[in-house]
Amino acid sequence: MIDLHTHSLFSDGCLLPSELARRAAVKGVRYLAITDHVDPSNLEFVLPRVKEACREINRHWSIRVLAGVELTHLPPEIIGELAARARQLGAQIIVVHGETLVEPVPSGTNRAALQADVDILAHPGLLTEEEARLARERGILLEISGRSGHCYANGHVAALARKLGAEVILDTDSHAPGDLMDRQQAERILLGAGLGPVEVQRALENGEQLARKSLMR
């Protein structure tokens, strides 16, 4: 199991990075990204602390933990700039909080994210064909979300990804222990989004490929 979108108490999660990693490992997670919510006000506070936590966890445990961020509720015009800044500060995984159906994310966020140096567009809601095509061209993964509410558009995202040739990934968007999941549950959510067995396997492999690549950053 690979999970590249989770939150610790450095944003709105309820667990220390070490406890989040431990609980994920018990669920069978092999690669975990801690991607706390950031904007210009807290990027330089949150990311160095998550990086330090990841270094210590990776020294002692077999689970591999990556330091990331989720750019959240930003004016679309600054997404590219902040993504570049996060990369300069050492973010191994950059997620953008997409235009979910259950939050007032600014219109244009999906497109701005897909034009920036990011890895995952999280819960993109009513993704357009143009956006799905851009995701394919830019090699950015579209998230099938395990989180309540954000999952409402999973079927739409999966269908457009198939139609336009974009790649998808399954993430939990965990904020609390009960949000974490094992591989069996991840497979069930992907199947529920309308993916076939081969597509489910590919989605899970996409997560592993991104994690391995990002560990080299």
Phi, psi of 177 (to 5 degrees): -55, -40
Q: How far apart are CA 173 and CA 167, in angstroms?
A: 18
Residues ≥6 apart with Cβ < 8 Å to 205:
none
CA distance linking residue 48 with residue 54, whole number of Å: 10
Q: Which fold has domain 2-215?
A: TIM Barrel (3.20.20)
Q: Looking at residues 180-184, what average pLDDT do you find? A: 97
Structure confidence at residue 151 as a pLDDT band (50, 70, 90): very high
pTM exceeds 0.95: yes
The answer to whether 98 touches 113, Cβ cutoff 8 Å, is yes
pLDDT value at residue 204: 98
pLDDT of residue 217: 84
Say yes or no to pLDDT of 5 above 90.
yes
Query: What does the domain layout of the chain look like in residue ranges?
Result: 2-215
Token reading at 183: 């591989």
